[in-house]
Structure 1
């Protein structure tokens, strides 16, 4: 069987499938409602109570017997005694006697015997006796028990992404916690002896390390958890020792995935490639630009192994590779119903050329008003300032060599 490098470049789809195969479905954990935002529901949510749980008033006003107010109008008001005050939250609600009304607040239980609510605006707002100037229909402004949902009904299905409305619904049926899919834990490493932590003085030949922080944030934005480990110099033995120490742990700190950037090209001093080749991780090319050099597999560390995805070191290549391969794999592992970025069609503003045989991802800005997209910066994989201004990626197929002004292109939305 030939290795990846011998078989030639992979397509983007082939490598995405290889990375996704490293991460199986995550398990289930229970979290408080306040911590459930953005998580994926692991089990169906059923209603423990009906909503509303009892007939209640939709208005501030008066609970009445509709038949007793037939014919009431501005010119012929009906006056009745007020027998009770019913604020929201009252539990000892007396039945409504014939010939009386009860002053009632929004959300308060409708008393037995009443079949309608008259809004306070259609009365003189009396507290002992009240003059009513409208004849209500039976059921007017009454929220019926079970009108929203019945007890036992399935409210949310497993796989639902939880936002404010879904969490509010869970609270409304009395659920203090929810079962959700566990977030994958990602250990993010950047390598390179030329890297210096931001804030430290630079020596000639050194650059500030940016990929680690950028990728850790991208991991968290995808819904997983990230641990950023200080970059490891170009030392193979030290690099393997760091990974072996972290992969041998247990519990939530053990990584589901090790994500590296840099050290995967064809040159010398490629520490990631040197440390992992022959130990379960394959390296090769993907027919894309930026982001051609890639690697993935399960790294054998002598008694333990860990899933690894290795990304190129240029910052644009690194983040584009994350978007194409790692982000959808993490979200799929969590059971997210939409692992990939949304893709829309837009008309190109300007012209683009692209090398044959390589799928291009160009940074762009989408104008939703005109339905056009314009490139930001150029194709250089080191131009992170242009990446920071982009809100989308323009996806040019491998067979495309040029796109004319006004032609439709596929656009990956990065801000949703």
Structure 2
């Protein structure tokens, strides 16, 4: 199944975790807004000057120089200036009644107690009108928006100190396999350390969820069913890595199928084809591949949108484009993700080149993933590619 079709299917089957809480603006970074926020006041709240300079009536421009009748610093008001006069004004200060234009200080000169104004100035120059940013009562921030620093600036400027946000999703994370051992524990002769559990927990934390590492699911069907069923009673989402392919020792998919059902299995994606989505006792389940590189790619391509769907998020940010520094052919109809490093080209533009190293060393050395869509068969140097930067701590 194509990634876009899989995400559409998943979205249809997920119910938003609708519980919300009110937190301070300082605690809301990265959270999903639960309700529309209408502007309780206009921004700017009054007509004001965008520069340091002189405010005057545009109709008086022909009488320049104008006597300076008032001084208006930010935070102070002057009710009105007489016709045929100007006011010394500073950035952010309210315009006196009647004044409709501001000349920048650099474009004026003083003639005793009068100011000489530029003859070419336009009516309304350097004025910010009340409500031109957002008018009182209008939508300022829509529900479903993931709040970033710019959103918090807007909310704070509107005087909104507390924001209604979706509660953080509780996600249970399992690794799987008899061969897998937690980092720090001794290895069996054919064992490997668990890379996926810490990686997925870190990604989930970075993406605003509350992950809990639940340990390693061993290759035993009865134990698998029991532990998955128990997790379903405590979490909003269960995430596993490994055990969802076609091998005789891949028991996770069968256990989920018995406990609730598999709605999706295998994606047209590289790396990451073996991926399962379903439910366990009514709780959504996402089974990622066991290969760490594939687990990372499918976390970015599928797990992140799943978190957004469950939280009621509405936005999928557009990906920036980078220039390809390599040539490649690929299978039509399959989405591929390449580990790339960014370099500055001779013309100053960012150029993506394949990251050196293997599955994990290449992932660690890379700056992000270049996304090659299903419709692409070949990449040539100079082609523009969507780029997903790795999330940082």
Settle same-fold status: TM greater than 0.5: yes
Q: Quick check: 1:188–1:227 contact (8 Å CA) kept in 2?
A: yes
Q: Is it true that 1:90 corresponds to 2:76 in the alignment?
A: yes
Q: Provide closer, same or farther for how the CA distance between residues 102 and 212 of structure 1 changes in structure 2, counting only shifts above 3 A.
A: same
Count of residues paired in the alignment = 380
Q: Provide closer, same or farther for how the CA distance between residues 341 and 261 of structure 1 changes in structure 2, counting only shifts above 3 A.
A: farther
Q: Is it true that 1:168 corresponds to 2:153 in the alignment?
A: yes
Unaligned runs of 5+ in 1: 1-9, 250-254
Q: Is it true that 1:280 corresponds to 2:271 in the alignment?
A: no
Match of 1:25 in 2: 16
- Distance, in Å, in 2 between the alignment partners of 1:55 and 1:271 is 67
How much has 1:333 moved relative to structure 2? 3.4
From 319, 328, 332, the counterpart of 2:296: 319
Match of 1:262 in 2: 242
Q: Provide closer, same or farther for how the CA distance between residues 130 and 199 of structure 1 changes in structure 2, counting only shifts above 3 A.
A: farther
Match of 2:336 in 1: 361
Q: Provide closer, same or farther for how the CA distance between residues 337 and 344 of structure 1 changes in structure 2, counting only shifts above 3 A.
A: farther
- Distance, in Å, in 2 between the alignment partners of 1:394 and 1:146 is 41
Query: How is 1:134-153 mapped onto 2 (pairs within 5 angstroms)?
Result: 134=117, 139=124, 141-153=126-138
Q: Is it true that 1:306 corresponds to 2:289 in the alignment?
A: no
- Distance, in Å, in 2 between the alignment partners of 1:116 and 1:361 is 56
Q: Quick check: 2:341–2:365 contact (8 Å CA) kept in 1?
A: no
Q: Quick check: 1:40–1:158 contact (8 Å CA) kept in 2?
A: yes
How much has 1:306 moved relative to structure 2? 2.0
Q: Counterpart of 1:293 in 2: which secondary structure? A: coil
From 175, 182, 196, the counterpart of 1:190: 175
Q: Is it true that 1:387 corresponds to 2:363 in the alignment?
A: yes
From 28, 41, 48, the counterpart of 1:49: 41
Normalising to structure 2: TM-score of the pair? Answer: 0.74
Worse overlay, 49-58 or 332-341 = 332-341
Query: How is 1:225-244 mapped onto 2 (pairs within 5 angstroms)?
Result: 225-244=210-229
- Distance, in Å, in 2 between the alignment partners of 1:271 and 1:19 is 22
- Distance, in Å, in 2 between the alignment partners of 1:373 and 1:135 is 50
From 89, 92, 104, the counterpart of 1:107: 92
- Distance, in Å, in 2 between the alignment partners of 1:97 and 1:343 is 53
How much has 1:99 moved relative to structure 2? 7.9
Worse overlay, 183-192 or 131-140 = 131-140
Q: Quick check: 1:69–1:134 contact (8 Å CA) kept in 2?
A: yes
- Distance, in Å, in 1 between the alignment partners of 2:126 and 2:323 is 48
- Distance, in Å, in 2 between the alignment partners of 1:409 and 1:116 is 48
**CA displacement, residues 335-385 of structure 1 (integer Å, 9 cap, x when unaligned):** 44454874979778345466x9x946352437796898665569xxx8222
How much has 1:321 moved relative to structure 2? 3.0
- Distance, in Å, in 2 between the alignment partners of 1:411 and 1:167 is 31
Q: Quick check: 2:145–2:315 contact (8 Å CA) kept in 1?
A: no
Worse overlay, 100-109 or 403-412 = 403-412
- Over the residues paired in the alignment, what is the CA RMSD in angstroms? 4.3
Instruction: Tell me which structure has the larger Cα radius of gyration.
Output: 1
Match of 1:205 in 2: 190
- Distance, in Å, in 1 between the alignment partners of 2:286 and 2:39 is 42
Q: Provide closer, same or farther for how the CA distance between residues 229 and 116 of structure 1 changes in structure 2, counting only shifts above 3 A.
A: same
